[in-house]
Amino acid sequence: DVMKELLGLRNLEEQVELKLGVKKVLVVAGNSDEDHWVKHELGRASVAELKAKREPSDVIAVMGGTTLAAVAEMMTPDVGMRDVTFVPARGGLGENVENQANTISAELATRAGAQYRLLHVPDQLSEDAYSSLVLEPSIGDILKLIKSARVVIHGIGEANTMASRRGSKSTFIEKIEREQAVAEAFGYYFNREGDIIHKQRTIGLQLDELDNKYVISVAGGESKAEAISAYMKYRPSDVLITDESAARRLLEIE
């Protein structure tokens, strides 16, 4: 669009596409580290992408975080989404209620005039609890729905920020420092090379189940450039929606 040409953002998008090997990169103006309204611009762009991609009976899986909460705030009614179902992509990962995937998925659905299903599982799951929970029929049903999602939309976090926001134990904080984790997405932690160094146990979509899904990653702010770069090395998404500051910083990463 004309505005993007004027701001030179289209050129930035192309450079980031090449750099990350991501087919489609959308860049909004600003720096979401500094200005909260930039998250809403990320949200506006994400909503447009979701609406452009949706099919009548889609299942759309969503993750949590403040960025995705801003995406939900930007959703507007869409008659074409009447039979779309929003679901959380994974179970609890230690967020405040307003930033939980369940809350965000319900909010997206309510604003769009779509359907939603909740997934109730505790944040900390022991091996035993995990294996018996997945056998519960009510959980099994929604798990099937989650795994069938055709579209997934998620945020990316900086590893240390996410570990402390989740109130992780000091032994875990030490581990991610020792192993130089820089990124977090879907409850997985990654180093600069994009190798998984830790996985949080919870039910729902696992990272190796994203194939054949349309994956939209939304993350902005200069502070997240390293994290975005690392995660895209693990697995380039179909679309990255980011902001100008993150994009410029991304181009400087070796």
Q: Please report how close the Cβ of residue 65 comes to ligand BG6 at its closest, in angstroms.
A: 2
241 binds ligand BG6 (CB under 6 A): no
Q: Please report how close the Cβ of residue 155 comes to ligand BG6 at its closest, in angstroms.
A: 3
Helices within the chain (DSSP H only): 2-7, 9-20, 36-53, 66-74, 101-112, 127-133, 137-147, 159-165, 170-178, 225-234, 244-252
Burial tier of 31 (Cβ tally within 10 Å: 0-12, 13-18, 19+) = middle
92 binds ligand BG6 (CB under 6 A): no
155 binds ligand BG6 (CB under 6 A): yes
Q: Please report how close the Cβ of residue 67 comes to ligand BG6 at its closest, in angstroms.
A: 3
Q: Can you tell me the distance from the alpha carbon of 159 to that of 181, in angstroms, rounded to the nearest whole number?
A: 6
Q: Which residue, 54 or 224, is less far from ligand BG6 as judged by CB?
A: 224
Q: Can you tell me the distance from the alpha carbon of 156 to that of 154, in angstroms, rounded to the nearest whole number?
A: 7
Q: Please report how close the Cβ of residue 90 comes to ligand BG6 at its closest, in angstroms.
A: 7
65 binds ligand BG6 (CB under 6 A): yes
- Binding to ligand BG6 by CB under 6 A, coded x per residue (else -) over 167-186, reads -----------------xxx
Angle at alpha carbon of residue 224, lines to 30 and 122, rounded to 5°: 120
Q: Can you tell me the distance from the alpha carbon of 189 to that of 182, in angstroms, rounded to the nearest whole number?
A: 7
149 binds ligand BG6 (CB under 6 A): no
64 binds ligand BG6 (CB under 6 A): yes
Residues near ligand BG6, by CB under 6 A: 63-67, 93, 95, 99, 155-157, 162, 184-187
